[in-house]
Amino acid sequence: MSKTSSETWSERFEEGLHPFVQNFNASIGFDITLLQEDIDGSIAHARMLGNCGVITFDEADQLEKGLERIRLEAKQGSFQPGIADEDVHFAVERRLIELLGPLGKKLHTGRSRNDQVSTDLRLWLRRRIDELDLLLERFQKALLLHCEDNINTLIPGYTHMQRAQPLSLAHHLLAYVEMVNRDRERLKEIRQRVNISPLGAAALAGTPVPIDRRHTARSLGFSDICLNSLDAVSDRDFVVEFFSFSSLVMVHLSRLAEEVIFWASEEFGFVSLTDRCATGSSLMPQKKNPDVPELVRGKCGRVFGHLQGALTMLKGLPLAYNKDFQEDKEALFDVVFTTTSSVKAMTILLEEGIEFSHARLASAVESDFSNATDVADYLVSKAVPFREAYQLVGGLVKQCIQQGILLRDLTLDDWKKLCPLIENDLLQKLSPKEVVAARVSEGGTSFARVQEQINLWKGRIASRDT
Ligand code: ARG
């Protein structure tokens, strides 16, 4: 006969749980996600018990085989825990006892579900971190491909959403490569703190059983062990850190998403969306909607919400384990899923969802006053103090607007009226291409600098790959 979790309690209990409470208490509905890691952790624990002579090698072998059998049963669909099991840890233990009889009852020697759940969570998150890092790299590569194709493509640069100065489109996209790089740096650092083993801290105080915590840590690939048993079972900082990292990833994705959304509008027309990544309207036949970036932008809310939720759940919790911690799981699964799928969706959008409209971009940079700063800079080169040059050009722009013309429509005579020091060479310097090419300061948008940045990123990414 299999026992329910409340029948697993010691003989101190006489009555079963109220059915509603049983449901309310159970986490099996979601922590079954941790099954692989729970089995991995239990195998490492069993082997260590064998190694330390707490159980025999033969017993350790049998426990390992039983646990692998449960893994197989889960794969084949015959291991289906229910509410009666309460959580994944009890479910696996219950099945192990069914399979092995009294020997199965030895697995839990020298550990508790408190160190077990934190171990499972860390192992699970470590895997997801590695997958996410690969996806972030693919996202960077997709950006870099557009950069390489668009060094000489110009796009208006904005501040305050007002036309400011023209840019190389590659330069604009490289800004996102930088953001993602910071995300990856943060992720790497978080991984180091995730990758510490709490296993063997037992319920809160350690155990008199002669275990070897470093043995389990090593076999599970952890780089170290948590040094304080109370902290080991009650630390969820890594969850908060991961949520904070994810929130910033979502911020970055949503900024690009927002740009793609307005670039794809009739008003901008800087990109067109391919059929692969756009949707239609059920009513208006002419429409092509940017659902992918809109969804990514919208999904920020739940990720930021989980960050707030986790901080609030942890605030004021006394040491050590409290059941409140059970609330970390659904949030973590949702944040991982949402962030991972958003990175993937935006990558696919870059890979095959958008096409830059070169003609539209070229005409956009021709038709504004975003070369006004360059006139001021020119005057500075003729020894006019910058503030004076700035005032002069401001007045000129005002006159042009009144006459409905652009700076390029002015003749040399007009320019000389502004300042007699102006020569013919100014006219050529005002073309958007020249304006961009001139911004040669390090990190600037000149074509040469942009090429330099692309080379740098390609090199960095290639060296990480090897
Ligand atoms: N399901 C529990 C959780 O997610 C596992 C740990 C339970 N520990 C306990 N002492 N009740 O946190």
Query: Quick one: pLDDT band at residue 2, thresholds 50, 70, 90?
Result: very low
- Does 3 have pLDDT greater than 60? no
Which domains occur in the chain, in start order? 3-109 (1.10.275.10), 114-358 (1.20.200.10), 365-465 (1.10.40.30)
What are the tokens at 81?
């825990």
Distances in whole angstroms, Cα of residue 256 to Cα of each of 251, 371, 442: 9, 25, 24
Instruction: Output the residue whose Cα is nearest ligand 1's atom 3.
Output: 326
Cβ–Cβ < 8 Å for 242, 340: no
Query: Quick one: pLDDT band at residue 92, thresholds 50, 70, 90?
Result: very high
89 C-alpha to center of ligand 1: Å? 9
β-partners of residue 196 are 224
Least reliable range by pLDDT among 2-11, 56-65, 181-190, 441-450:
2-11
> Quick check: CB of 357 below 6 Å from ligand 1?
no
Higher pLDDT, 243 or 280: 243
> Quick check: CB of 326 below 6 Å from ligand 1?
yes
The mean per-residue pLDDT over the stretch 119-126 comes to: 99
417 C-alpha to center of ligand 1: Å? 81
Least reliable range by pLDDT among 34-48, 122-136, 322-336, 373-387:
373-387
User: What's the pLDDT score for residue 5?
Assistant: 62
> Quick check: CB of 117 below 6 Å from ligand 1?
yes
Higher pLDDT, 231 or 287: 231
**What share of the chain in percent tops pLDDT 90?**
92
For the CA of 328, the nearest atom of ligand 1: 4
Query: Quick one: pLDDT band at residue 463, thresholds 50, 70, 90?
Result: confident
Indicate which residue of 223, 265, 281, 363 is catalytic. 281
User: What's the pLDDT score for residue 7?
Assistant: 65
Whether 89 is catalytic is no
User: What's the pLDDT score for residue 284?
Assistant: 82
Distance CA 314, CA 330 (A): 15
Indicate which residue of 78, 160, 282, 441 is catalytic. 160
Distances in whole angstroms, Cα of residue 24 to Cα of each of 28, 92, 114, 306, 324: 11, 20, 19, 20, 13
90 C-alpha to center of ligand 1: Å? 10
User: What's the pLDDT score for residue 344?
Assistant: 98
Query: Average pLDDT over the chain, rounded to whole?
Result: 95
The mean per-residue pLDDT over the stretch 375-390 comes to: 94
User: What's the pLDDT score for residue 1?
Assistant: 39
Whether 282 is catalytic is no
17 C-alpha to center of ligand 1: Å? 16
> Quick check: CB of 114 below 6 Å from ligand 1?
yes
Which residue out of 10, 117, 118 has the highest number of ligand 1 atoms within 8 Å of its CB and is therefore the one to mutate?
A: 117
The mean per-residue pLDDT over the stretch 135-162 comes to: 98
Distance CA 354, CA 69 (A): 48
What are the tokens at 409?
């429509």
200 C-alpha to center of ligand 1: Å? 15
For the CA of 89, the nearest atom of ligand 1: 5
Instruction: Output the residue whose Cα is nearest ligand 1's atom 12.
Output: 326
Least reliable range by pLDDT among 39-43, 84-88, 293-297, 461-465:
461-465
The burial class, CB within 10 Å (0-12 / 13-18 / 19+), for 393 is buried
